[in-house]
Structure 1
Amino acid sequence: MAPRRVLTALHTVAFAAIAGITALMATVAPAYADPTPAPADIEAQILDKWSAVEPIIEKYNEVHGQLAANKAKADKLQTQLMPLQLQVDVAMARVGDIASGVYKGGRGSALNAVLTSGTPTSLVEQLTLLNMIARTQQDQIRDVTAARDKFAGDKRALDNLIAQQARQDADLAAKKKVIEDQIAQLQRLRQQAYGSSGATGVLKPVACPVEYTGGPGGVAAQKACSLIGKPYVWAAAGPNAYDCSGLTMVAWQAAGVRMDHLAASQRRQSKSVSRDQLRTGDLVYFGSDTHHIGIYVGGGWMVHAPHSGDYVRMVQLTGYYARNASGYGRPGG
């Protein structure tokens, strides 16, 4: 074949190959496209995932708090047992001395008492006195022993409870890796939605509180508003980070109302109110198991600690939050 004809043929093949590749790319490229998900869709996924994770966190808070409280009770009972045991030991030693004297004296001591007392009446008086002393010692021992046995019984029951709670605590601690993995997934979702900076939008879009009413509720709301921007850390209650129930607990502590670091307990410790009765400082509950909680700040807004990777922020009680609110409460009656 002539050189010119060979070159023309090669050009024809090259153009055909390029045209084929271009057509292939046109059909394949859409299959590999990876459009950035809408932030609203990612936020919805995050909230759904966190609704599944948060009950485990709240359960950990509950068990860990109970375990710490019961250990403190056990220590207190132990300090109460020590002096009681000492009293029993001293009383038993005294009775032992009396019993030892009577045993060593035997029947001869009674005869000797008759010979030396002068009259049988003196002997009766001496024996009666001895009997009274013995009875007093027995009564003292009985009272102290009863108190000691009660405390010992209480401590045994408490020790058994502590052992049970320690097993629960260890079981929940073993789930820490699972929780942390889920938290990492949530953070990746946030980065996917907002970029590597993990931006979370405006934390305080309006004045906070929106409505200031004074009283304990107003104080609690102001405290919550002052914590906007603090990072979420599960099981944290300040001063540098908070989870949802840690935030509301600290907010109401500022108003002089003490509550447990547990969303479900805070619900039980508050008076139930309806949505149309909400006023500044009231609590907003989420989930039938009350695994999340926020504090109402007026105007249809609440402040809460949402989830890992986020910060204490204001949100409106609309959309997701309106649909998933399971109740409302007012601490302190």
Structure 2
Amino acid sequence: MGTGKRGLLAAAVAVVCAVTVLGAPGAAFAAPGPTPSPAAGTTAPPLPSTASDKDLEAVRTKLEALYHDAAVATDAYNAAEEAAKKQSSEIVELAKKIVAGQAKLDDLKNRAGAAARAQYRTGGLPDEAQLMLSDDPSEFLDGAGRVRQGERATKGLIGELSRTQQDLVQYSKDASDRWRKLEAGRKTKATAQKRIEKQISAAEKLRSQLEKAEKERLEQLEAKVAQEAQTAWLGTGILDEINSAASVQGKQAVQFATAQIGKPYVWGAEGPKAFDCSGLTSEAWRSAGRPIPRTSQEQWKQLPHIAVEDMRPGDLIIYFGDASHVALYVGDGSIVHAPRPGRTVTLAGAGSMPILGVVRPDA
């Protein structure tokens, strides 16, 4: 949040607090594979001086679990961040309404005071008494009509005054509610951030135990596992069924996403220099003129689901049973995505990870 926005929010909160006090009345192509379970701890056992293939496979599995848990926490962080933006904006708008309502209330009070003073100057006599004291009954009757009009106007003024006071009380309650939610969201975001950093730190520590040659072997192993999954996916003949052409907006989303290839993955990032997985897909579709939810889980929940065999370039493929990863389909069995910390936006096989399902932003 920029400095100017923080200042506006702070001013809004001050107004809210003040008025609160003053205004208070007395389908998936294949069944998803098992989601990697979060690591029980972050301390990895020391590796042998020369890691065997079995050791490296254990490292790969543990890294997958750590990065998966970090991805889940990143989704929670992003969701809290989006909620905070919305709540902050709502607080500012409510504060504006409170300021305007208070000004209106002051004006109504001034008008009510003027009406009371005018009645005092006439002595507050009832119409009958003024008729008896008048030298010209016809003049009085004209005046009495104006008095009755004035009484109706006064009643209307009192009603408007009451409604304005009620509005101010409600605005204050609403603003206080948004503020409580904002504070709760901040705690959620802070918790998610700690979890992300803890899991990434554990993954980096585990990788740091490997020698250079072992790191290279690990990368080869990771690539082999992904390639085997992709080959199995393609082996079903799925590409023979996927032949839909991209929509105009889908092409624009693909063009944006592929233009980001090589940029680093950074959790919570949505460009322009770095992205996380849902940051990339949401920005790709925003660039195409179709805003979509920020997180992979909300993209899965809110966007229309499409059968895998019906997907077209630009559609989003959601991965893992908990919808913790998302990629943009580019055609020919390939995706563009931001994989995880330490990696860059890249092309990969659409079947290289367990597919949960496909969603279409412009259905």
Match of 2:322 among 275, 289, 292: 289
CA contact (8 A) 1:183 1:308 kept: no
Q: 1:303 to 1:309 in 2, by over 3 A?
A: same
Q: Partners of 2:361 and 2:211 in 1: how far apart?
A: 37
Q: Partners of 2:99 and 2:253 in 1: how far apart?
A: 44
Structure-1 residue corresponding to 2:305:
272
Match of 1:35 among 19, 29, 51: 51
In the alignment, does 2:181 pair up with 1:161?
yes
Offset, 1:176? 5.2
In the alignment, does 2:190 pair up with 1:170?
yes
Whichever residue aligns with residue 281 of structure 1, its letter is G
CA contact (8 A) 1:113 1:123 kept: no
Would you say how many aligned residue pairs link Structure 1 and Structure 2?
293
CA contact (8 A) 1:302 1:316 kept: yes
Q: 1:297 to 1:105 in 2, by over 3 A?
A: same
Give matches, 1:176-325, under 5 Å: 177-185=197-205, 187-188=207-208, 193-194=214-215, 213-215=245-247, 216-318=249-351, 321=353, 324-325=354-355
CA contact (8 A) 1:294 1:304 kept: yes
Q: Partners of 1:124 and 1:256 in 2: how far apart?
A: 64
Q: Partners of 2:281 and 2:209 in 1: how far apart?
A: 27
Q: Partners of 1:73 and 1:176 in 2: how far apart?
A: 28
Q: 1:32 to 1:83 in 2, by over 3 A?
A: closer
Aligned partner of residue 285 in structure 2, secondary structure: helix
Offset, 1:174? 4.3
Structure-1 residue corresponding to 2:160:
140
In the alignment, does 2:28 pair up with 1:49?
no
In the alignment, does 2:94 pair up with 1:94?
no
Q: 1:126 to 1:225 in 2, by over 3 A?
A: closer
Q: Partners of 1:131 and 1:236 in 2: how far apart?
A: 63
Offset, 1:244? 0.5
What residue ranges of structure 1 are gaps of 5+ in the alignment? 1-30, 206-210
Q: Partners of 1:128 and 1:99 in 2: how far apart?
A: 15
Q: 1:108 to 1:186 in 2, by over 3 A?
A: same
Q: How high is the TM-score relative to the length of structure 1?
A: 0.74
Query: Which shifted more, 171-180 or 133-142?
Result: 171-180
Aligned partner of residue 162 in structure 1, secondary structure: helix
Q: Partners of 1:259 and 1:108 in 2: how far apart?
A: 67
In the alignment, does 2:170 pair up with 1:128?
no
Q: Partners of 2:141 and 2:312 in 1: how far apart?
A: 86
Structure-2 residue corresponding to 1:115:
133
Whichever residue aligns with residue 51 of structure 2, its letter is P
Q: Partners of 2:210 and 2:270 in 1: how far apart?
A: 24
CA contact (8 A) 1:42 1:189 kept: no
Whichever residue aligns with residue 87 of structure 2, its letter is N
Q: 1:164 to 1:185 in 2, by over 3 A?
A: same
CA contact (8 A) 1:243 1:307 kept: yes
Q: 1:310 to 1:288 in 2, by over 3 A?
A: same
Per-residue deviation, residues 47-89 of structure 1 (Å, max 9, x unmatched): 2321222111100100111111110111012112212211111
RMSD after superposition: 3.5
Q: 1:219 to 1:186 in 2, by over 3 A?
A: farther
Aligned partner of residue 293 in structure 1, secondary structure: strand
What residue ranges of structure 2 are gaps of 5+ in the alignment? 1-46, 228-242
Query: Which shifted more, 149-158 or 222-231?
Result: 149-158
Q: Which has the higher contact order (CA 8 A, sep 6+)?
A: 2
In the alignment, does 2:356 pair up with 1:326?
yes
Structure-2 residue corresponding to 1:76:
93
In the alignment, does 2:92 pair up with 1:59?
no
Q: Partners of 1:212 and 1:191 in 2: how far apart?
A: 46
Q: Partners of 1:332 and 1:129 in 2: how far apart?
A: 59
Per-residue deviation, residues 252-274 of structure 1 (Å, max 9, x unmatched): 22322211221112223322122
Q: 1:177 to 1:283 in 2, by over 3 A?
A: closer
Whichever residue aligns with residue 245 of structure 1, its letter is S
Aligned partner of residue 256 in structure 2, secondary structure: helix
Q: Partners of 1:83 and 1:246 in 2: how far apart?
A: 37
CA contact (8 A) 1:285 1:328 kept: yes
CA contact (8 A) 1:232 1:312 kept: yes
Offset, 1:32? 6.5
Q: Partners of 2:210 and 2:269 in 1: how far apart?
A: 21
Q: How high is the TM-score relative to the length of structure 2?
A: 0.69
Question: Sequence identity, in percent?
Answer: 21
